[in-house]
């Protein structure tokens, strides 16, 4: 006899994710679940996104980490509401964690909620948080072979951010191969080469995101 313990966990998470999504839809909040490995540049990408879009949208951030509040403090220092979730060892965020976090935010003042998931290319792919879109970041130093090793995160992401692109000439990164494999796994996902700390390429990424936010808002107004 085999007992699958993952099914009740995922079923409960999905139910709570649906509840989260109803709340977000009612409040008109677009939710982005940002996934990446540790060190890929999630927080720096979030800060660059904030700088590009803060004049157009009310923005808040939920930071997911195993421990510490360093990233939330960085976001708060930029005048953006931030809630830190420490998972205490869990390798991903779950819907109940998001429910508790949003209770500390004024959703009436938020158009874009960015969730920085725990640094991991595996676990976050399995858990719906009630988000509108999942997007992943790969940094050039991690290597062009990551789509071969972790295909699922590339398959479910609506867009792929290739960060630290200014280092592409330094590392043995085969961009043609990377784009080819990602294109086969997920032909609809655009790839945005950026250097988050320098601002290079960020405008293309943020204009795509703004388009998704505005489209979601227009769709909600039609209902």
Fold of 16-214: Rossmann fold (3.40.50)
In sequence order, what DSSP letters do the residues of 126-184 get, joined into one string? G---S-SEEEEEEEGGG-TTHHHH-HHHHHH-SEEEEE-GGGTTTTT--HHHHHHHHHH
CB 146, CB 171: distance < 8 Å: no
Higher pLDDT, 219 or 24: 24
CB 83, CB 105: distance < 8 Å: yes
Which pLDDT score is estimated for 2? 46
pLDDT tens for each residue of 134-170: 999 999 999 999 999 999 999 999 999 999 999 999 9
Q: List the domain boundaries for the chain.
A: 16-214
pLDDT tens for each residue of 47-59: 999 999 999 999 9
Mean pLDDT for the stretch of residues 33-44: 96
CB 208, CB 159: distance < 8 Å: yes
CB 60, CB 84: distance < 8 Å: no
- Half-sphere exposure of residue 120: CA atoms within 13 angstroms, side-chain side: 16
Residues 6+ apart with CB under 8 A from 82: 60, 61, 62, 63, 71, 72, 73, 75, 76
Which pLDDT score is estimated for 160? 98
């Amino acid at each position: 006899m085999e007992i699958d313990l993952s099914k009740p966990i995922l079923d409960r998470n999905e139910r709570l994710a649906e509840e989260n999504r109803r709340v977000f839809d009612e409040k008109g909040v677009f939710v982005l679940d940002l996934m990446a490995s540790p060190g890929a540049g999630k927080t720096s990408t979030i800060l660059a996104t904030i700088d590009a879009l803060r004049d157009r949208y009310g923005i808040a951030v939920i930071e997911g980490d195993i421990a510490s509040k360093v990233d939330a403090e960085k976001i708060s220092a930029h005048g953006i509401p931030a809630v830190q979730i420490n998972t205490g060892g869990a390798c991903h965020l779950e819907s109940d964690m998001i429910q508790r976090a949003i209770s500390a935010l004024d959703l009436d003042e938020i158009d874009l909620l960015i969730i920085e998931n725990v640094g991991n290319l595996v676990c976050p792919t399995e858990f719906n948080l009630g988000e509108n879109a999942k997007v992943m970041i790969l940094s050039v130093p991690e290597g062009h072979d990551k789509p071969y090793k972790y295909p699922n995160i590339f398959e479910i992401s609506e867009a792929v951010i290739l960060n630290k692109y200014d280092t592409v000439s330094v590392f043995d990164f085969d961009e043609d191969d990377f784009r080819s494999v990602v294109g086969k796994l997920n032909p609809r996902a655009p790839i945005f080469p950026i250097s988050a700390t320098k601002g290079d390429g960020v405008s293309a990424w943020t204009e795509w995101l703004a388009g998704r936010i505005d489209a979601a808002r227009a769709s909600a107004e039609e209902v």
